[in-house]
Amino acid sequence: MKKMNYLLASIALFAFLASALLQPAFAQHKAPQQGTKRMSMMQKPADQPSAVQQKNSGMSGNMMMGKGMMGKGMMMGKGMMGHGNAQMMQMKNDPVIGALHYYGCPGFLLMNAQKLNLTDQQKQTLTNLKLEFKKKAIKTQADIKVETLNIKEAMNADKPDFNKVKTAVKKINALQENLRAQFLNTLIKGRKVLNAQQLAALKTLATNCNGMHGKGMMMQQGMMK
């Protein structure tokens, strides 16, 4: 009986020791798998967008950038043109003013002050002439716009008032003729500021600019066809 008890106790002790020895090895064998699983879960983005979502996001971003650039472009365009500059460009499209512009317009002379070797006194005189004409031009252009509105108002009536239209057209023609005359007088005053050498240089400069302007107009007309 004692031998039996001793045998059972030995078996229980052996089983306990075997379990104690095998448990750490088993734990080490499973640990890398759990660590790998945790790393894969950490590396995987929580809300990774699909390919379609990424494409749509890119398109939206490009559209927003495009709108932003267009908005900035429009703001820059408005800032560069300005109210007065836009009117000056409109006047330059007038056939008479456009033909005379390069031959003594104070603004053109000031733009080429270095090429013409203008003195400080000449620059100041030309600046005064430019501002004087610009004030008159702005007022004249405003009066022309008013008469243009009168024409539209007369034509939009149920029974168009053609007498009112004719009157407005005559006023516009008179205003344009007066503006051309004022421009010519300003140009003559501007040329009187220059000496003989500067007038000779202006003639060459005007010829070159007219040639470039003509080529630009021809290219523009070709693109419009």
Instruction: Kindly report the pTM of this predicted structure.
Output: 0.57
What pLDDT is attached to residue 140?
Answer: 95
What pLDDT is attached to residue 189?
Answer: 97
What pLDDT is attached to residue 114?
Answer: 95
What pLDDT is attached to residue 162?
Answer: 95
Task: For residues 71 and 35, state if they share a domain.
Answer: no
Task: For residues 71 and 104, state if they share a domain.
Answer: no
Whether residue 46 is contained in a domain is answered as: no
- Number of compact structural domains in the chain: 3
The mean pLDDT values, 10 residues at a time, for the chain of 225 residues are: 58 58 50 48 50 52 49 40 51 84 94 96 97 95 96 95 96 96 97 96 89 46 36
Q: How buried is residue 113: exposed, middle or buried, by Cβ count under 10 Å (0-12/13-18/19+)?
A: middle
Task: For residues 127 and 198, state if they share a domain.
Answer: yes
Domain encompassing residue 31: 1-40
Task: For residues 72 and 108, state if they share a domain.
Answer: no
What pLDDT is attached to residue 210?
Answer: 73
What pLDDT is attached to residue 177?
Answer: 96
For residues 213 and 31, give the distance between their C-alpha atoms in angstroms, rounded to a whole number: 82
Task: For residues 119 and 197, state if they share a domain.
Answer: yes
Neighbours of 159 (CB within 10 A): 6
What pLDDT is attached to residue 179?
Answer: 96
Task: For residues 174 and 209, state if they share a domain.
Answer: yes
Task: For residues 98 and 68, state if they share a domain.
Answer: no
